[in-house]
Amino acid sequence: MPKAMKWAIVFVLTFTLVVNTQVHKAAAETAIVGVDSLNIRSGPGLTYDVIGTSKRGESLTILATSDEWIQIKHGNGTGWIASWLVTMNTTASKKSSLVVSRVDRLNIRSGPSVGSSILGRMNAGDEAKMIDQNGSWTQIIINNTTGWIHSEYITEIAEQVEHVSTEQKQDTFTIAVDALNVRKNADLSSKRVGIIYKNESYEIKEINGNWVRIVFDTDKSKEGWVYSFHGSISSSATVANNKQVATNNTVTILSNGTNIRESATTSSPVATRADAGERFTIKSQAGDWFEVALPNGKSAFVAKWVVSTSEDIHTEQQTKKENSARVPGTLKGLTIVVDPGHGGNDRGSTGARGTDEKDITLLTSERLASKLKAAGANVILTRESDAYVSLRKRVAVSHQVEADAFISVHYDATTTPSVGGFTTYYMHERQKSLAMYVNDGLASSVALRNRGAQPGDFLVLRENRQNAVLIELGFISNPGEELSVTTDSFREQASLGIYNGLLNYFNSN
């Protein structure tokens, strides 16, 4: 069940959960609530009990951070809130200094982790004002954008107050999707005032959270807002410099427990596992894989989408997929991301008979991935073991491989044990057709009640530039349905239904 719906589950077993997530000292003093009602929980995850609420606009004192969760003062104790529902408010009392990027295309991220969304990039020599630090991350302000960069790739210098540059670097926003609506205000429900197209670049006037205000005609008389996840922000110097950069000779692992395999395929045996921050020397490249040297002298392969090079260079020519003809009845030439919901310290829902959602989503996803690969698809699983993967990291994988379809697999739950059935969710209108085909495929394959294809406001759909759906394969809060959906025969039929839905969708398109 997706994170946005977990508040409704009151039957979750209240076992003590030992979380191995690293907790960092707070990087900001306060967080401002950005939703009408924000749940405050007893621990850093949606499976923890709600111990209070906070209203929009309230300022909460930050004590620490853990992945995408923030520990705050709550009454006479503490509580945890979701970082994606608040905005950070740093103080101005920090020491004033500047940082200079030592590399090109250094990612500026929305939070202090590699799983946070990219707001823009710095090139070698670009300066930014440092306002805070959190472990190996530095918070900066550059061109009216506040974000985080990795401290390893910058040099701190004293700020020269008396020096003011008269040459202003103009930021631009480059469109990454086929067509993008320009809106009057920074809101998806706001009136559309124009439309812009892929690879076009526009002058940025203002950045407000996930929204960018641009000038979008030649005489600079029209302005509007666009959603930043559908493009990239760069300075004029970056746009003008289109030189090819040599491939780096090392890769850095992005997540704990990353599989390094014996050959360049996700079905190959695991040679070893590596944790975030570990580095390996690149020996060669094989499609979407790096051949790397292990400490024992042997070679193995790691997927490009789970690592970064030291300068995180991804030019358009490097990431652009080739459009190849597809034989009807196959999925050859298509890239499909299968996303097993939850994992690690995020159990998801717990069934009436004790089933953890995170376990059966992985089993079902593995069965689905096998069918898709047999049909010729290039399949990427967002997790292959019981590991925590942030929602934004899952979306980042979808963007990085330019997925033709992103399928998030979940099992549902509610407080009413008699409720049952499967549902296929979409967020954007462009995702509706895929959702309907997948839902029809399931309806012809499984014997559960068909709850239909419905709109659903989930992060992996909302912020996904690719075609994406989220499937709830039955209610494990229903004791009878839990018995059914946890069987191997159900997983076979459900994965077959999703496979047929995808096949029919791509055949019709």
Instruction: Name the strand (E) or helix (H) holding 195.
Output: strand 192-197
**Across the strands, what pairs with 340?**
409
b/e map 240-257, b = 16+ CB within 10 Å: eeeeeeeeeeebbbbbbb
Strand, helix or coil for residue 345: coil
Radius of gyration of the CA atoms of the chain, in A: 23
Pairing of strands 192-197, 179-183: antiparallel
Handedness of CA 406, 407, 409, 412 (dihedral sign): positive
Tokens linked to 361 = 């989503």
Strand, helix or coil for residue 282: strand
Which residue in 23, 25, 90 sits closest to 59, CA to CA?
90
Predicted local distance difference test score (pLDDT) of residue 248: 47
Task: Convert 145-157 into a string of H (helix), E (strand) and C (coil).
Answer: EEEEEEHHHEEEE
Predicted local distance difference test score (pLDDT) of residue 57: 77
Contact 386, 322 (CB under 8 A): no
DSSP letter string, 111-128: SSSTTSPEEEEE-TT-EE
Predicted local distance difference test score (pLDDT) of residue 209: 58
**Across the strands, what pairs with 234?**
172
**369 φψ region: left (φ > 0), alpha (ψ -120 to 50), beta (else):** alpha
Per-residue pLDDT of the chain (509 residues; tens, 9 = 90+): 665 555 444 334 333 333 344 454 444 467 888 777 888 988 877 777 889 998 887 888 888 776 567 888 888 888 988 877 777 665 444 445 788 877 667 888 877 877 676 777 787 667 888 888 877 788 888 766 778 888 877 877 655 443 333 334 457 888 766 667 788 887 666 777 888 887 788 888 887 656 788 888 755 668 888 876 566 666 543 333 333 333 347 777 766 677 888 888 777 788 888 876 677 888 888 777 888 988 888 899 988 766 765 444 333 333 334 445 566 778 888 999 999 999 888 889 999 889 999 999 999 999 999 899 888 889 999 988 888 888 888 988 888 888 999 999 999 999 899 999 999 999 999 999 999 999 999 999 999 999 999 999 999 999 899 999 999 999 999 999 999 999 999 999 999 999 999 999 999 88
Tokens linked to 120 = 């823009």
Contact 316, 488 (CB under 8 A): no
Nearest 5°: phi and psi at 502? -65, -45
Cα–Cα distances (Å) from 320 to 136, 236, 306, 316, 367, in that order, read 31, 22, 18, 6, 29
Predicted local distance difference test score (pLDDT) of residue 239: 35
Tokens linked to 306 = 């789970």
CA–CA separation, 57 vs 41, rounded Å? 18
Burial class (CB in 10 A: 0-12, 13-18, 19+), 350: buried
